[in-house]
């Protein structure tokens, strides 16, 4: 008991020391040269518009961990889940906190899909875009016990069985997983039974238990089952192969998964992992967070996290990010209207 306390205090002492060193270094390198650079004056709320344990939540808690571990911020970062209404609760909360620089939000595709599908009064333009952190990939998975070795073999089997025979499991309804499923159906003429579940991890386990026939899980949601030899990856919904060449399973790496395009399934979809602030914040305040995330992305922990989840580590800020968002919003609008997912006005 006594020993515990002692080691805590010594750790605390070291933290102060390294923070002090960090501050001196920052001063020297001109970080403070801007003069009146803005800095948080109280703890920052990090809103996750999704439940605990999902992809966005994992990333937010991971970021919180990296910030604490490397002392990247003087104030603390507090992760808050506001998952109600497919994330609407979180978005409306940040929208309502205009001009509050002590609040940031991590987004997933529900940034576009939730307002379109439910008609809640929210648009991404109500927020201030800070940075695209990464893009999350989607992979077509089947159970390893099935005979399908390629995406083509699988779609042929789906077609041969007739409509409403094969079950596709996915996260949520009228969100990214179902959008991809509909896009596949449009291309191949197949018809799946789409079964919505609450979370990606649950979906992967349902596939291992053979309660569904295929999923479009993100890599990080299914990687452990893949490594255990329970699942087989058929193709990735991107126009190029993933860059990670290290072996993940005994014989395969992420880069061994072919793009779906080469399998006669031209579906290209990635999900945004981006950071936003409430509307009406100042440039200096945005700059602080861009700088913060630059530091986070420079840590070895972040690189390891990107590789484990096979993320597309493209980063965008400023106008480029806004341009990307505008384009992506239009794309979701058309994908969802084709699928009949738009809210009735």
Partner 1 sequence: MEEINSLMHGFAVALTPMNLGLMMVGIILGVLIGVLPGLGGANGVAILLPLTFAMGNTPAGQVSAIILLSCIYWGALFGGAITSILFNIPGEPWSVATTFDGYPMAQQGKAGEALTAAFTSSFVGAFIAVLMITFLAPLVAKFALRFGPPEFFAVYLLTFCSFVGMTKSPPMKTVAAMMLGFALAAVGLDTVTGQLRLTFGFTELLKGFDFLIAVIGLFGIGEILLTIEEGLDFKGMTGKMKMKVVLETWKELPKYWKTSLRSSVIGCWMGITPGGATPASFMGYGVAKKFSPTGANFGKGEIEGVIAPETAAHAAGTSALLPMLTLGIPGSPTAAVLLGGLLVWGLQPGPMLFEEKKDFVWGLIASMYLGNIAGLIVVLTTVPFFAAILRIPFSIIAPVILVICAIGAFTVHSSMFDVWLMVVFGVIGYVFKKLDYPLAPLVLALVLGDRAEDAFRQSMLASQGTVTIFFSNPLVGSITTLALLMLFWAPLSSVIKRVRR
Give the separation between CA 241 and CA 258, rounded to whole angstroms: 6
Q: Least distance (Å) from partner 1 to the CB of residue 53?
A: 4
- Burial of residue 174 (number of CB atoms within 10 Å: 0-12, 13-18, 19+): buried
Does 83 sit near partner 1 (CB under 8 A)? yes
Strands of 49-192 (E only): list them: 77-81, 103-107, 127-136, 139-143, 167-171
Residues of this chain, 19-48, that bind partner 1 according to CB under 8 A: none
- 238 touches 268 (CB < 8 A): yes
Q: Which of 13, 75, 224, 247 binds partner 1 (CB under 8 A)?
A: 224
C-alpha 190/C-alpha 163 separation (Å) is: 6
Measured on CA atoms in the order 183, 184, 186, 191, is the torsion positive or negative?
A: negative
Work out whether 102 is an interface residue with partner 1 (CB under 8 A).
no
Q: What is the phi/psi pair of residue 5, to 5°?
A: -60, -40
State which residue, 89 or 268, has the beta carbon closest to partner 1.
Answer: 89
Q: How far is the CB of 30 from partner 1 (least distance, A)?
A: 29
Alpha-carbon distance of 48 to 56, in angstroms, equals: 7
Please report whether residue 211 would count as binding partner 1 according to CB under 8 A.
yes
Q: Which is nearer to partner 1, 3 or 283 (CB)?
A: 3
The site string for partner 1 over 139-178 (x = CB under 8 A, - otherwise) reads: -------------------------x--x----xxxx--x
Residues in contact with partner 1 by CB under 8 A are: 1-4, 7, 11, 15, 51-53, 57-58, 61-62, 64-65, 68-69, 76, 79-80, 82-86, 88-89, 92, 117-118, 120, 164, 167, 172-175, 178, 193-199, 201-202, 204-206, 208-209, 211, 223-225, 227-228, 230, 304, 308, 341, 343
């Amino acid at each position: 008991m006594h020993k515990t306390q002692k080691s805590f205090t010594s750790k605390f002492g070291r933290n102060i020391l390294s923070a002090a060193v960090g501050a001196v270094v920052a001063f020297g390198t001109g970080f403070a040269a801007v003069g009146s650079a803005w800095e948080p004056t109280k703890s920052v709320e990090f809103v996750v518009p999704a439940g605990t344990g999902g992809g966005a939540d994992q990333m937010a808690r991971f970021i919180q961990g990296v910030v604490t571990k490397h002392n990247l911020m003087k104030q603390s970062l507090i992760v808050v889940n506001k998952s109600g209404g497919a994330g609407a609760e979180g978005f409306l909360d940040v929208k309502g906190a205009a001009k509050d620089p002590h609040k940031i939000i991590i987004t997933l595709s529900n940034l576009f899909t939730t307002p379109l599908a439910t008609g809640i009064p929210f648009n991404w333009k109500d927020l201030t875009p800070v940075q695209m952190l990464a893009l999350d990939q989607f992979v077509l998975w089947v159970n390893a016990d099935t005979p399908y070795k390629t995406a083509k073999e699988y779609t042929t089997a789906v077609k041969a069985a007739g409509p409403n025979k094969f079950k596709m499991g996915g996260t949520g309804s009228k969100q990214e997983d179902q959008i991809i499923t509909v896009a596949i159906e449009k291309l191949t003429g197949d018809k799946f039974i789409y079964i919505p579940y609450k979370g990606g991890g649950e979906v992967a386990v349902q596939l291992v238990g053979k309660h569904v026939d295929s999923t479009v899980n993100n890599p990080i949601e299914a990687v452990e089952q893949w490594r255990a030899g329970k699942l087989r990856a058929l193709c990735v919904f991107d126009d190029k192969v993933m860059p990670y060449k290290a072996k993940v399973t005994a014989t395969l790496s992420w880069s061994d998964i072919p793009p779906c395009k080469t399998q006669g399934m031209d579906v290209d979809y990635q999900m945004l992992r981006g950071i936003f602030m409430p509307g009406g914040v100042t440039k200096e305040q945005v700059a602080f967070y861009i700088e913060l995330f630059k530091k986070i992305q420079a840590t070895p922990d972040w690189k390891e996290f990107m590789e484990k989840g096979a993320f597309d580590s493209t980063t965008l800020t400023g106008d480029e990010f806004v341009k990307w968002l505008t384009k992506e919003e239009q794309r979701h609008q058309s994908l969802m209207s084709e699928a009949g997912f738009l809210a009735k006005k």
